[in-house]
Amino acid sequence: QYGYTLPGWRKYNLTYRIINYTPDMARAAVDEAIQEGLEVWSKVTPLKFTRISKGIADIMIAFRTRVHGRCPRYFDGPLGVLGHAFPPGPGLGGDTHFDEDENWTMDGTGFSLFLVAAHEFGHALGLSHSNDQTALMFPNYVSLDSRKYSLSQDDINGIQSIYG
Ligand SMILES: O=C1CC=C(NS(=O)(=O)c2ccc(-c3ccccc3)cc2)CC1=O
Ligand SMILES: [Ca+2]
Ligand SMILES: [Zn+2]
């Protein structure tokens, strides 16, 4: 059963901004992985994501290492934690950071940015972890072939319990 849900966004039109890029992947590949990670959720809810290239977006996306900016959570170097996202809300709410010390790839060798992004965006939309090991919100990374990846019913029940 999906984890209990935090209050979600009180609007369906959300903006996102990619602050910086990882050198591990082509920019276009990063843009695509982020867009697909968001589409996983917008496909099953009334949510709409609009990309902006400057100013403050609801979901600010950045690649960071160790202690970074005014973020209260830190990264731990290669492996371990791959990313973190803040639940819906003003300011840091919704912001999603990826650990730049990881090897981000789309070919299955390193970590799939698409998969980790989809998981983190689940948090940025208000979902917590699920104990259903087939769920995207399961706490442990399973390197599936992200091409044929789809949401589990548990994820869908969870997100629709907030934005149904
Ligand atoms: O709140 C937390 C705390 C710890 C986390 N660990 S992680 O960054 O290594 C991570 C773990 C699992 C995933 C994942 C799980 C299922 C499918 C795809 C990715 C992504 C990131 C991820 C996270 O969002
Ligand atoms: Ca790490
Ligand atoms: Zn952070």
67 Cα to the center of ligand 1, angstroms: 19
Q: Which atom of ligand 1 is nearest to the CA of 80?
A: 9
Residue 139 alpha carbon to ligand 1 centre in Å = 5
Closest residue CA from atom 1 of ligand 1:
84
The ranges of the chain with pLDDT < 50 are 1
Residue 123 sits at φ, ψ, to 5 deg, of -65, -40
Spatial neighbors of 127 by CB under 8 A, at least 6 apart, are 2, 3, 5, 6, 137, 155, 158, 159, 162
How much is the pLDDT for 1? 46
ipTM of the complex: 0.92
**Cα 100 to ligand 2 centre (Å):** 8
Helix or strand or coil: residue 84?
A: strand
The count of other CB atoms within 10 Å of the CB of residue 55 is: 7
8 A C-beta contact, residue 41 and residue 127: no
Q: How far is CA 43 from the centre of its chain?
A: 15
pLDDT of residue 2: 55
Q: What is the DSSP string of 15-74?
A: EEEE----TTS-HHHHHHHHHHHHHHHHTTSS-EEEE-SSS--SEEEEEE-SS-TT-SS-
pLDDT tens-place string over residues 15-62: 999 999 999 999 999 999 999 999 999 999 999 999 999 999 999 999
Give percent of the chain with pLDDT exceeding 70.
93
* Ligand 1, pocket-test mutation among 140, 142, 143, most atoms within 8 A of CB: 140
Q: What pLDDT shows up at residue 157? A: 96
User: For residue 111, what is the DSSP state?
Assistant: E
